[in-house]
Amino acid sequence: MSPVLDPAVAALLDNPTTTRLRPVFEGNNISFAIGFKHINYVAEAAVLSHFRAAGLSVGSMYKRFGLGFEVVELRSRLGALLDVDDEVEAEVTPATKDGATEFTFKVAQFVERDGERLKCATSTVRVALRIDDHIAASEAYPAGLERFAVRSLGSGDRLELAATPSPYGSLVEGRGTVGSDPVLDELIGEDNAFGWRWRMPYFYCHFNDRVQMSGFLRVMEEVEDLFLASRGLAIKEVLDTRNWIPVVTQSELRLLDETLMEEELYTVYTIENVFKSLLYTARMDCYVIRDGELVRTVTGTITHGYLTEHAPNEWSMATFDEATVSALSTPKRVDA
C-alpha cells in the first residue's frame, strides 16, 4: 500500500499546472528574439510557479524545512523563436517515477502567433531538495517530501591530476584564463576543444554556497562566446560580415556535484559533430580541484547553428561556408 502523502507533496507529484510568463528583456540580445538561456529560465520559472501552486514555495521550504531548491538537470529543445514581446503559456506536467529521489517535470512553452497556438520549446526539468547546513529546520517535512531531500547534489567523477595547477591570482583579475594552463592542457589533450578557467562569482550562486543551474547556463553561453572568438568567428564580426546570428536548437545540462562559491572552474568545450553544414554540437564539462583531484561537477551538450535575415524580420537557417566548417573542425590552441 502506497504511503499517504501530504496534500502539498501530492499536488507536486500529480497535478499539472499552467502559468503565464514573459521572458526577461535581458535575453533580447539580437534583433527581436530571446536567446536560449532565457528560454531555459522560463522553464525554470514555470517549475518554481508549480511549487508555489502546491503550497511549497522555494522560500518557505528553505525557512521551514531547511531545504534548498536545486534544478539538477535541464534539457530543452527549441522549436520556434521566442519574441521579446511574447507572453508564454507554460504547462508543467509532473513526471516523477515511483521511488525516484528527484522530481521530474515536463515543461511545454506555448505562444500565440497570428491567431494560432505555437509550441516554441519543450523541457525536462529535474529538481532535488538540498539539506542546507546553514540553518536548522523549524518544522518536520511534509509526508512524502523526505525522499527528495539530499545531503549533497551528487558525487562527480574523480580524476587523478598529473599537472601542477598554476596560481590563479586575485579575485580582480577579470575573466580568467583561456591560454596555456597546465590543467586545461591535460584535460584537452589532442581533442578539438577549448578551455577556460575562471573563479565562480557569488552572483552565479545561491543559498550562500554553490553555483546554481542558471549560473551554468551562463557559463555555457560564455564559453561558447570565447570559443567562437578563438576560432575567428567572433559573434559581432560574423553578424557584421555575414549577417548570421547564433541560434540554439537543443541544450542539456546536468549537475554531477556541487561547485562552490569562488572555486576555480575549469571548463572544457569540445566540438563533437559538424553536420550538414547547418549545425554543430558541443559538449561542456566543468571541473574543480579538490584534495589534489579533478572533480567533474557539470556536464552538458548544446546544438548550435546560425540564422540569416533574408528579408526584414524573416529568418532562415544559414549554410556554413568552408571557412566556418574548417574553423569549427580544426583544433586550435590559444596561446597564453
CA distance 225 to 240: 16
DSSP per residue, 11-62:
HHHH--EEEEE---GGG--BTTBPPHHHHHHHHHHHHHHHHHHHT--HHHHH
pLDDT at residue 336 tops 60: no
Residues 35-59 have a mean pLDDT of 97
Residue 177: pLDDT band (50, 70, 90) is: confident
CA distance 304 to 274: 10
78 or 2, greater pLDDT: 78
pLDDT at residue 175 tops 50: yes
Q: State CA 184 to chain mean position distance.
A: 21
pTM score, two decimals? 0.92
Tell me the per-residue pLDDT of 79-101, one tens digit each, with 9 for 90 and over. Answer: 998 999 999 999 999 999 999 99
Same domain, yes or no: 132 and 269: no
SS (H, E, C) 273-313: EEECCCEEEEEEEEEEEECCEEEEEEEEEEEEEEEEEEECC
Contact call for residues 162 and 235 (beta carbons, < 8 A): no
pLDDT at 248: 95
pLDDT at 100: 95
Residues 51-78 have a mean pLDDT of 97
DSSP letter, residue 233: -
pLDDT at residue 334 tops 80: no
Contact call for residues 264 and 199 (beta carbons, < 8 A): yes
Same domain, yes or no: 156 and 106: no
pLDDT at residue 294 tops 90: yes
pLDDT at residue 313 tops 50: yes
Set of cell numbers at residue 161: 591530476
Q: Residue with C-alpha cell 548570421?
A: 244
Same domain, yes or no: 89 and 164: no
Same domain, yes or no: 140 and 191: no
Q: Residue with C-alpha cell 559581432?
A: 236
pLDDT at residue 176 tops 80: no
Residue 335: pLDDT band (50, 70, 90) is: low
pLDDT at 225: 94
As separate numbers, helices (DSSP H) first and strands (DSSP E) second, the chain gives 7, 15
Same domain, yes or no: 317 and 307: yes
Same domain, yes or no: 206 and 330: yes
**CA nearest to 103, candidates 19, 36, 15:** 15
Helical (H) or strand (E) element with 239: helix 235-242
Tell me the per-residue pLDDT of 119-170, one tens digit each, with 9 for 90 and over. Answer: 999 999 999 999 998 888 999 999 999 999 999 998 777 888 888 787 666 5
CA distance 325 to 224: 16
Same domain, yes or no: 333 and 205: yes
Last residue of a domain, one of 151, 176, 203: 151
Handedness of CA 121, 123, 129, 133 (dihedral sign): negative
**AA identity, residue 148:** F
The count of domains in the chain is 2
Characterize the bridge pairing of strands 244-255 and 67-78: antiparallel
pLDDT at 169: 61
pLDDT at 172: 44
pLDDT at 35: 93
Same domain, yes or no: 182 and 316: yes
pLDDT at residue 13 tops 90: yes
Average pLDDT of every residue of the chain: 92
Same domain, yes or no: 174 and 252: yes
Last residue of a domain, one of 151, 166, 190: 151
pLDDT at residue 187 tops 80: yes
Same domain, yes or no: 181 and 210: yes
Tell me the per-residue pLDDT of 243-271, one tens digit each, with 9 for 90 and over. Answer: 999 999 999 999 999 999 999 999 999 99
What CATH number is given to the structural domain containing 292?
A: 3.10.129.10
Last residue of a domain, one of 117, 151, 185: 151
Same domain, yes or no: 89 and 174: no
For residue 69, the enclosing domain spans 1-151
pLDDT at residue 111 tops 90: yes
Same domain, yes or no: 162 and 129: no
